[in-house]
Amino acid sequence: MKRREALKNIGLSTGFVLATPSVFSLLQSCKSDVAAWTPTFLTEEQGMVLKGLIDVILPKTEIPSANDVNVAEFIDKYFDEVLMENEQDELKTSFDNLTSFLKTNYKDNLSKIKSEDYMDLLDNHMILNSDGTKELDSKAKDVSGLLNRIRSMCIHAYRISETVGENILAYDPVPGAAYCDDLEKLTGGKSWSLS
């Protein structure tokens, strides 16, 4: 996947969480050690799957991966603290369907699923049936919808994380100054972290 293209097109191609102050504070509270993180909303297995998926969606390159900036913890906290109870119930069912699908089609032991398996899952099961060539059953649609939701939340949470906002994107700690010049000249082509 092309991470830079995804970040450039975030506003165009994904439906994402509204950036309210409470969502920002929720993300900033995700400061635990990535390796020691324990999910609060998801089960341990589902948390492992979430970390595997987001590591494929935004892998480590010369910049940190989504897991490096605690995106999985943010998504888990968002599900737990922001979603309504009926949305949480639907999401739990979707995650159960996803883990069941992974166990059936990849490996029964979810800890043995490799990044190539997650890449295959995303490549072949994330797109909802749009061309009409293949009818999807309700569980396949549910898995596809969940994968799309995870991708959207992952990209958005990554973009608004403190590490990315201050160290990777163009950052002005006192926003609001009017700059009238070429973006290439002002920021080296980077988009603003606070816009």
Q: What is the mean pLDDT of residues 129-135?
A: 57
pLDDT (0 to 100) of residue 12: 40
- Res. 36: pLDDT tops 70: yes
Place of tokens 């888990």: 76
pLDDT (0 to 100) of residue 45: 94
pLDDT digits over 10-33, tens only?
444 444 444 455 555 554 555 556
pLDDT digits over 148-193, tens only?
999 999 999 988 888 876 776 666 666 666 667 776 777 677 666 6
Domain boundaries, the chain: 3-160
Q: Which two tokens stand for residue 112?
A: 């043995």
Contact 72, 47 (CB under 8 A): yes
Q: In sequence order, which residues have a C-beta less than 8 Å from that of residue 171 and are 6 or more positions away?
A: 165, 192, 193, 194
- CA triple 171-67-27, angle to 5 deg: 55
